[in-house]
Amino acid sequence: MIDFTNLPARNKAYGGANGSKLSIVYNNEFYMLKLPNHSLKNPNLSYTNSCISEYLGCHIFNMLGVKAQETLLGTYTYHGKTRNVVACKDFTSLDTVFSDFASVKNKYIDSMSNGYGTELEDILDTIANQEVVDPKELEQHFWNIFVVDAFIGNWDRHNGNWGFLYNLRTDQMTIAPVFDCGSSLFPQIDDDLIQKVMASKAEMKARVYDIPTSAIVINKKRLNYFKFITSLEYADCNEAIKRIVPRIDLGQVNELIDQTEQASDLLKTFLKKILRMRKEMILDVALAKLI
Ligand SMILES: Nc1ncnc2c1ncn2[C@@H]1O[C@H](COP(=O)(O)OP(=O)(O)O)[C@@H](O)[C@H]1O
Ligand SMILES: [Mg+2]
């Protein structure tokens, strides 16, 4: 396991509301170190498993052919305590800065809501009408992310959690690697709760059919991944189902989870089970209806 504690630090600072972040140099490359955040929802868990979620989520995106940031798990010691952290390789460079989807949405003056508004119709309208990247490519990217987020149960893919790389020299925009998967894969669950949830079919099913919901809303209501995806109402979402779902190899996903030393055995068992259920009960159902 990598100890990130005494590595050279940089002055670069990162935003985001889910925990402290440091800029460090590891193997001559720049990384954003994400420290785990305090668990507000679960009083039995002082720190969430968001670092494990970040690591696994980004690896699953990459596994399914949707480019995500490179992540490494390790530890960091502060205030006398050693905690699990995730290092995210910085995807910016001397020439390129990150620009979130919200900022691009702000450029598009006809947009119905501000950049951070997540009404689906506004997002799709912005994707179709923006001129910074190819609209077709962006639309496919958006739905690819949506489908993978449905698989890993992401609560938080708002317009600040995906976006573009802007090259200051050439004025070119490209799609940025996926990042911030910290609110997926049930980061607030602890071993006691896992035991209770796994002992109850209803509790497991609720974590497929009811929660998490998506950060994207229709008429101000957060989308239910199951209802939305199996309704087959959005043709471009259906295309993403056909692209992504056949690439999911649960054996490979299970192997990734099993190799994650930072996760407790119980967490590993729970994540493997819930991912299988979310695939079979949401994604496979939609795919079967489509073909
Ligand atoms: N790999 C990365 N390289 C460069 N900048 C990043 C990277 N990942 C995230 N960022 C920037 O840091 C911000 C915070 O990161 P994020 O993972 O979204 O944290 P949080 O979980 O607190 O929202 C992002 O909004 C983005 O601007
Ligand atoms: Mg974020």
Instruction: Using a pLDDT cut of 70, give the percent of the chain over it.
Output: 99
- Please tell me what DSSP assigns to residue 94: S
Exposure pattern of 109-127 as b/e (b: 16+ CB <10 Å)?
A: eebeeebebbbbebbbbbb
Q: Atom 10, ligand 1: which residue's CA is nearest? A: 14
Q: What is the position in ligand 1's atom list of the atom closest to the CA of 177? A: 1
Judged by its nearest atom, the ligand closest to the C-alpha of residue 16 is 1
Supply the pTM of this predicted model.
Answer: 0.97
Distance CA 215, CA 183 (A): 11
Domains of the chain: 2-92+178-290 (1.10.1070), 96-146+159-175 (no CATH)
- Our answer on whether the CB atom of 260 is closer than 6 Å to any ligand 1 atom is no
Residue 41 has pLDDT above 90, yes or no: no
Distance CA 84, CA 47 (A): 10
153: region left, alpha or beta (phi > 0 left; psi from -120 to 50 alpha)? left
Among candidate residues 61, 93, 70, 287, the one with its CA nearest the CA of residue 174 = 93
Distance CA 182, CA 221 (A): 22
Judged by its nearest atom, the ligand closest to the C-alpha of residue 158 is 2
- What spacing in Å lies between the alpha carbon of 290 and ligand 2's midpoint? 33
Among candidate residues 280, 290, 162, 271, the one with its CA nearest the CA of residue 214 = 162
- What spacing in Å lies between the alpha carbon of 161 and ligand 2's midpoint? 5
Residues 262-280 have a mean pLDDT of 98
Q: How long, in residues, is the chain?
A: 291
Pocket test for ligand 1, best of 10, 12, 14 (most atoms within 8 A of CB): 14
In angstroms and rounded to an integer, the radius of gyration of the C-alpha atoms of the chain is 19
At 124-164, the pLDDT tens digits run: 999 999 999 999 999 999 999 999 999 999 999 999 999 99
Q: What is the position in ligand 1's atom list of the atom closest to the CA of 160? A: 25
At 206-244, the pLDDT tens digits run: 999 999 999 999 999 999 999 999 999 999 999 999 999
- What spacing in Å lies between the alpha carbon of 72 and ligand 2's midpoint? 18
